[in-house]
Amino acid sequence: MKLLRHLWKRRVTGRPDQYQAYVAFPSRADRPVGDIHDRIDELEHAFEGRLDIYARSQGIAVATDRVSAETFDVDAFEAILERIEDAYAGTHRLAQLEKWRSIDGRLVTSYVVVPVKPLFPRTKAKAKADRTTENVAPPTD
């Protein structure tokens, strides 16, 4: 019966009982510390202050406790992820993993978010070509 309830919540309603996240912030000499601090403050608010901050050799990591689905704002969390992606846009790509699992009889959605350096960085010419393609208006009928 538990399995059926978990499958129902996951597949049909798309709504878990709880949410949690792990977010890494790689350090960079040219990035203001305030950007990272602001994102951590936003995560702290989204997860009701239930988070731990760890110093790593290559930056900072934030691990949250689980919060109930009733109090968690998914849209606000996604907006935070977009701001993290914008902060690392020039040098990193945002790798995201979402996992659904049963913990203590509850269906929990866990996010792992890590900005990673691409294997083959974009060249300046490629970046400029991409920007000009984005600015081209679509054809009209």
User: What are the sequence ranges of the domains in the chain?
Assistant: 2-135
Tell me: the pLDDT tens digits for 73-124?
999 999 999 999 988 888 889 999 999 888 888 889 999 999 998 887 666 5
Q: Which of 114, 83, 88, 113 lies closest to 31 in space, CA to CA? A: 88
pTM attached to this predicted model: 0.73
Specify whether the CB–CB gap between 42 and 83 falls below 8 A. Answer: yes
